[in-house]
Structures are given as C-alpha cells and as structure tokens.
Amino acid sequence: MSKDIILIIGANGQLGSVLIKELQTIHGIHKVIASDVYSVPNFEGIFELLDATDKAAIHEIVKQYSVTQIYHLAAILSAKGEEQPLWTWDLNMKMMLNVFEVARLTAINKVFFPSSIAVFGDQAPLENTPQSAFLNPATVYGISKAAGENWAQYYFTNYGLDIRSIRYPGVIGYQSMPGGGTTDYAVDIYHSAVKKETYGCFLSADTKLPMVFMADAIRATVELMEAPKENIKTRTAYNIGAMSFNPGEIFAEIKKVYPTFEVEYQPDFRQDIANKWPKSIDDSEARNDWNWEPKYNLKLMTALMLEKLEDKYNTIKSK
Ligand code: AKB
C-alpha cells in the first residue's frame, strides 16, 4: 500500500466522484481525503468541506492529514463560465494558485491539475491538433486553463513542484453528470435515450469533437500520476485523444439499440464555443512519454453507457 496521502479538491464533480473510488482502491480508503464546497449524503470515506478559494483552509487540511498529493479538480467549465466571465476567471485562478502555493510551501510531492481542449482556439489546426499548437482560447474557462498550464510550468521550473496535467476532451461516463460544459450533450443524450425522451441537442448534428470514456479518462489520470518523473517531458499539459464523433454519429449508434429514439437539433451559444475547438487530437507525446492508449471507441462506449444507465434507471423505478 502506498505511503501517499491524497487530497481531492472538487471530489463531487463529474471526474472527482469517479476518480475518488479509484484512488481509494489504489491507496486505501483512509489515505484519500475527499473535499468539496458541498457534501453528498452517504459518502464512503473521509470527507472535508473545503472552499478552495480559502488558502488557509487548504493549508489546514494538508497539515491535519499530512497530505502528500493534491488532485485539484474544481473549476467552472466552458459554457457556465461565459455567463459570468470575471467571476469565472477569479474563481478558477484563485483556487488553482492557492493549491500551487500550498503545495510549494508544504511537503506535497505531486499535484494533478486538469487542463482541457478548451485551451485551443481557431488558430490551431482543427484536425489532429498537435501538442504544441498555438493557444488562443475563446472562453474564459479556456483562458484560465491556458494560464494554469503556464503556471504549472512556472512552478515546476522555479520551485521544482511536480505538477502534472492532461488536456481532457469531453468526458463521458454513466456514474456522474457533467455540469456547465460544451461537451455535456454527449452524456445527456444517453440519459434521454434510456428515459425514452426526445433529446434536444444544443449542438448541430455535424459538430465533431474529441471525447474520452470515463474509464479511459481515469486510467489516463492515474497512469500520468504514476509515471516516473523523468518521463514527464511536458510540464504544461498533455494532449490525450481517444475518439471523435458528432451528435449525428452518437445518435445513429444509440438508434441501433433504441430504434424509436429521436433528437431535435437546437444549437445555442455553445455551438460557437464548439466551432473553435479541435475535432481530433494528436496525442503522440502522451503515448511516447507515459504509454497512453485509449481502450474505448464510440461503439464500445455506447453499449456500456446504455447498459449501465438502464440498470440505474431500473433500480430507481423499483425503489
Ligand atoms: C467543457 O465542455 O467545458 C469540458 C471540457 C472539454 O473541458 N467538458
């Protein structure tokens, strides 16, 4: 069993709520401290209420539990962020810099900070977007992630702080719901299909975006964090790719299982965000440096999403 004590900030979010279980399995349930600004009922493990804009509060938890690693997952995402740009910037930057500063001043040996494909804008090639493409993000969320990547590089260069990061594409899982993102449609659509509702899609049928299944996203995170330090050549954030599809293609895949399922396309402001994001990702550096390799494609993921969501809704009905 590992000697590390892990603090997860944003443990109730889409990724955090799944990652926490994986980290509990790897490190032991008493070695993982989950934290968020709100609590969830029946949480199994150690949980602390934590507002990450309060640096002293983060410091206190790190001291209290002798934390050695932090996964900082809390952020306002792309679509929600556009509603209140300055508030989003303040919040995302403050939480992140608080985490980096506490890590610098304590015995933290590794930090995980998620970045996103939102760092790219219309100056980057849309297909096979390279690791080192020019970054001109069009959303406040993307700007905050691009700044965060540069801060990660700065803390590594100047203080030797081992911060590791991934530019996540849209993450799709049955365990948790995303909130406030532009790629959220690719989770919502499965829920509508299983509930036998018509889905109102906020992106057009041909809007291709890169996506990753939750199991692959979690494995990527753990593999990056466990990779030997000398293998980590990118100190901003790694591109990872897994699959790319558009709403029309995911609809067609679902329709094979639910022939009566229907989608209505009602593009809104999120269409403009998606239009500037990569359609597919060149992740050769992640593959070379820490052997990243996705396992799920659209077909495999759809089969699993529908099976697991059917179980979930049937259990709810039978209660
Ligand atoms: C979003 O849509 O904002 C996120 C992301 C791609 O970072 N899912």
> The domain that contains 84 carries what CATH number?
3.40.50.720
CA torsion sign for 239, 233, 99, 50 is positive
- Spatial contact of 5 and 33, defined as CB atoms under 8 Å apart: yes
| pLDDT tens, position by position, 267-306 | 999 999 999 999 999 999 999 999 999 999 999 999 999 9
The catalytic residue among 38, 65, 71, 141 is 141
Residues 151 and 90 in one domain: yes
Which residue from 116, 244, 269 has its CB within 8 A of the most atoms of ligand 1, so it is best to mutate?
116
Residues 175 and 218 in one domain: no
Residue 286 lies in a domain: no
Q: Which structural domain range is residue 301 located in?
A: 171-210+242-280+295-318
283-288 contact pairs (CB < 8 A, 24+): 283/131, 283/238, 283/239, 283/240, 283/241, 284/131, 285/131, 285/233, 285/234, 285/238, 285/239, 286/166, 286/220, 286/224, 286/238, 286/239, 286/240
pLDDT, position 247? 98
243 CA distance to ligand 1 centroid (A)?
15
Residue 163 lies in a domain: yes
114 CA distance to ligand 1 centroid (A)?
11
Residue 175 lies in a domain: yes
Q: Which two tokens stand for residue 59?
A: 């410091």
Residues 140 and 161 in one domain: yes
pLDDT, position 1? 61
Burial bucket for residue 225 (CB in 10 Å: 0-12, 13-18, 19+) = buried
Residues 178 and 107 in one domain: no
Domain count, the chain: 2
CA–CA distance, 21 with 104 (Å, rounded to integer) = 27
Residue 73 lies in a domain: yes
Strands 166-168 and 199-201: unpaired
pLDDT, position 213? 98
Residues 162 and 257 in one domain: no
| pLDDT tens, position by position, 89-135 | 999 999 999 999 999 999 999 999 999 999 999 999 999 999 999 99
Residues 252 and 106 in one domain: no
Residues 204 and 120 in one domain: no
CA-nearest residue, atom 1 of ligand 1: 181
Residue 289 lies in a domain: no
Residues 64 and 205 in one domain: no
Q: Measure the CA angle with vertex 148, ends 6 and 171; round to 5°.
A: 65
Write out the H or E segment, with its range, that includes residue 290. Answer: helix 284-290
Residue 150 lies in a domain: yes
pLDDT, position 151? 98
Residue 268 lies in a domain: yes
Residues 129 and 254 in one domain: no
Atom number, ligand 1, closest to the C-alpha of residue 78: 3
Atom number, ligand 1, closest to the C-alpha of residue 209: 6
Residues with CB under 6 A from ligand 1: 77-78, 116-118, 141, 168, 170, 181-183
97 CA distance to ligand 1 centroid (A)?
20
pTM of the model: 0.97
Is 141 a known active-site residue? yes
pLDDT, position 316? 85
- CA neighbours closer than 13 Å in the CB half-sphere of residue 114: 29
pLDDT, position 285? 98
CA–CA distance, 293 with 156 (Å, rounded to integer) = 26
124 CA distance to ligand 1 centroid (A)?
17
Q: Which two tokens stand for residue 19?
A: 């990652």
18 CA distance to ligand 1 centroid (A)?
17
Residues 157 and 247 in one domain: no
CA–CA distance, 309 with 286 (Å, rounded to integer) = 31
Q: What are phi and psi of 39, to 5 degrees?
A: -100, 160
Residues 22 and 147 in one domain: yes
> The domain that contains 195 carries what CATH number?
3.90.25
- Spatial contact of 5 and 31, defined as CB atoms under 8 Å apart: yes
Tracing tokens 């029309």 back to the chain, one arrives at: 248
Residues 102 and 233 in one domain: yes
Residues with pLDDT less than 70, the chain: 1
Q: What are phi and psi of 50, to 5 degrees?
A: -150, 125
Q: Which two tokens stand for residue 156?
A: 């590594």
Atom number, ligand 1, closest to the C-alpha of residue 77: 3
